Structure 1
Amino acid sequence: MIIAGTTALVTGGGSGLGAATARALAARGARVTILDLNADAGAAVAKEIDGLFAACDVADEGSATAALAASRLAFGCPQILVNCAGIGGAGRVVGRDGPLPLAAFEKIIRVNLIGTFNMVRLAAAEMSLAEPMANGGRGVIVSTASVAAFEGQIGQAAYAASKGGIAALTLPVARELARFGVRVLTIAPGLFKTPLLSELPQDAQDALGAAIPYPARLGAPEEFAQMVLAMIENDYLNGEIVRLDGALRMQPK
């Protein structure tokens, strides 16, 4: 797919991996809509890239529908969706205070997994009705899982389950949407320098980076964005989950 001239939606585009992806897509000539709960951050990135900001709770049907409608009104039908919105959270299944509260598990599943699926279904429905592009396709969807989907650590049951669900969605949705010419892909990043990790002391960041075989450092959001661009531009890549982790394999804790 040629990115220039396309319409792209980036959830969680106000910071971290999403912001880097939005900037990269805009630099390639895409019209980008930032979807985020943080209005200040999302609007700032949208202004920087001459895009659009739409407040959006990805796990809420009404909020997501309204955000897509705003993007469609401004830029037309989307050809690209990149799902970067998500939350973290740690807690043992059985901790010192007893079992993990069910609400804590539900919250992470709702935002990460249900939120991703909600955006996929809504964007795919719009893509399916659009005219095919020059390559014969109608769109590309890229979601964000995590290496925790495969090597979830102790205390990551909810987070790993949410990201594992995103990974498991990839192939069946790719098979289903193939008839529309919509490709579906997932990136499973390792340790990246997101706002959360950036708050750690530098020595703690260095220690995390040292655990990565090569390069022995935290990933840069721009490297994630580079992978998104490569996936979009390679028409033969579909139904795949790509680890982006410097050969990291997470230990139990």
Structure 2
Amino acid sequence: MLIDSHCHLDFPQFDGDRAEVLGRAYQAGIHGAIIPSVGPENWARVIDTCRQHPRLWFALGFHPCFASSDSVGQLNRLQSLLDANPRNLVAVGECGLDGVASALPMDQQQRLCLEQMALANRFRLPVIFHIRKAHHHLFSLLDREPLKAGGVVHGFSGSLEVAREYLRRGLYLGVGGVITYQRASKTRAAIQGVPLERLLLETDSPDMPPCGYQGLRNEPARCLLVLQELCHLLDLSSVAVVKKLSENHVRLFTRIS
């Protein structure tokens, strides 16, 4: 059951043809997709999108680039939603740390992320992480609050050394369009050194298009281009890779069916 483990199909870029986008994904052999939220402003939209379309699941959280100084005060709203256990909820996220684009100081980002990790542990949910230029901070948080249900570093683009630090802490790595670019040699080498059992497939649609589609809206059907490159990097057949990735998706996101 191959899925796009990270895409934002609720975003306005898909308002004109969301059903058609999903139809292309299903036709390409993508069973479904996980839609992480970015904050309270789209929690309802994410939930509604997943109610309207088959084989969509969602995560709820505060993305560090969309968070504000008021976000910590809204954690009770997130807790209430998690407690209600809405249909198709599979994770907390996306949350994390951003050393480039967030308006929040890093100490506030860390507090917000840690609180969400604690909520994930309380409700036995995995966590979907956004992380950029702050790996050492996230390592520290993971050591303070080990994840009971695991998690995934979405859109991984680090070195093999960084990858191993996440694997050591029980996380999966999300593999997206970045590996289709020859210039991404560090990340391509890292993925080659990671056990297939710890990888997930994703697009981050509408962003992060694969090589050849620069400047265009990304969509879940292009998981196949990422899959093709992953098979090439690992020198494995598509049948073997699809089987293992499907197992990984269901193992981490246990509420998917």
What TM-score do the two structures reach when normalised by structure 1?
0.39
Computing the radius of gyration from Cα coordinates, the structure with the larger value is 1
What TM-score do the two structures reach when normalised by structure 2?
0.38
